Amino acid sequence: MDKENHSSKPIIISIISLTLFLVIWEIVCRAGLIDPVFMPAPSKIFARAVKLIGNGELMAHTLASTRRVMVGFMISSMVAIPFGIFLGSSRLFMSICDPFISLLRPLPSMSWIPLSLLWLGITETQKYSIVFMGSFAPSLLYIIEATKSIDPLLIRAARNLGASKLDVMREVILPGALPQIISGLKVMLGIAWTCIISAELVAAREGLGFMIMNGKEYFQTDTVMLGMVMISITVMVIDVVFKKFERRLLPWTR
């Protein structure tokens, strides 16, 4: 049992299975078994990628969507984290806000699109607001749950050492809930992407969602599929970055 061999095997198998899949897909398309408008060959999608990278369009669309997700998600997290900690540690404020959270939570982000268009028009602010509305209520619930999971003994110990209620929130509840908050936010980041792509599909002038919708208008199935592949890749890259960031934020869990 060579250790190195043992760990690299699954990756090799994965690469082979992916390559095999692409090769079969290519052959099926080249043999004319599938209408290219219905399903273009991988080489066609690749050629489209090369073209769109060359003229800078692909990067522009990807960056536009990424920027919207990041801005909306940051604002949502920056409001949800302190608000959630506050709600999680105060029964009174929880009872005051509970009906509103319960009403907001079941609303899919899509349902905000018409209202946000009426209020804000096809603007960047409208895109951020969709991400915000889609991720705020679920983030808040994750954070309230995380706050409640703190060992009450630690709160006692902190109070016994002279911490005020505010000190307890900053010094005990926030760091104590952070591992759970971060794993919640990771899920929320995925949801934020869903929000922005839906918003772009409905009304936008740039972004991956727009690119996909525009491709569909011109029957460019390769552009549509390229857009979908780009979403996957971008989310995967952000996930890796997020994990690095997570390790730096939570040094004690190592």
Pinpoint the alpha helices (H) of 105-173.
Answer: 113-120, 124-148, 152-160, 165-168
CB of 192 to another protein, least distance (A): 27
Min dist. Cβ of residue 85 to another protein (A): 15
Interatomic CA distance for residues 186 and 199, integer angstroms: 20
CA 23, 26, 32, 37 torsion-angle sign: positive
Residue closest to 78 by CA, chosen among 153, 162, 136, 142: 136
Identity of the residue, 133 or 158, whose beta carbon is nearer to another protein in the bound complex? 158
Q: Between 9 and 156, name the residue whose CB sits nearer to another protein.
A: 156
Q: How far is the CB of 162 from another protein (least distance, A)?
A: 4
- Kindly tell me which of 122 and 250 has the beta carbon lying closer to another protein: 250
Closest distance between another protein and the C-beta of residue 156, in Å?
6
CA atoms within 13 A on the CB side of 197: 18
Tell the smallest beta-carbon distance from residue 246 to another protein (Å): 14
Among 111, 172, 110, 181, which Cα is nearest to 140's? 181
Closer Cβ to another protein, 52 or 172, answer by number? 172
Question: Which residues sit at the interface with another protein, rule CB under 8 A?
Answer: 151, 153-154, 156-164, 167, 171-172, 175-176, 178, 250-252
For another protein, give the closer residue by CB, 32 or 251. 251
Neighbours of 42 (CB within 10 A): 16
Q: Tell me, letter by letter, the H, E, C secondary structure of 210-225.
A: HHHHHHHHCCCHHHHH
CB nearer another protein, residue 87 or residue 172: 172
Angle at 149 between CA 146 and CA 151, to 5 degrees: 135
- Residue 9: CA atoms inside 13 Å, Cβ hemisphere, count? 7
Whether 173 and 88 have beta carbons less than 8 Å apart is answered as yes
Minimum separation from the CB atom of position 138 to another protein (A): 25
Residue 17 or 164: the one with the smaller Cβ distance to another protein is 164
Residue type, 112: W
Cβ 167 to another protein, closest distance in Å?
6
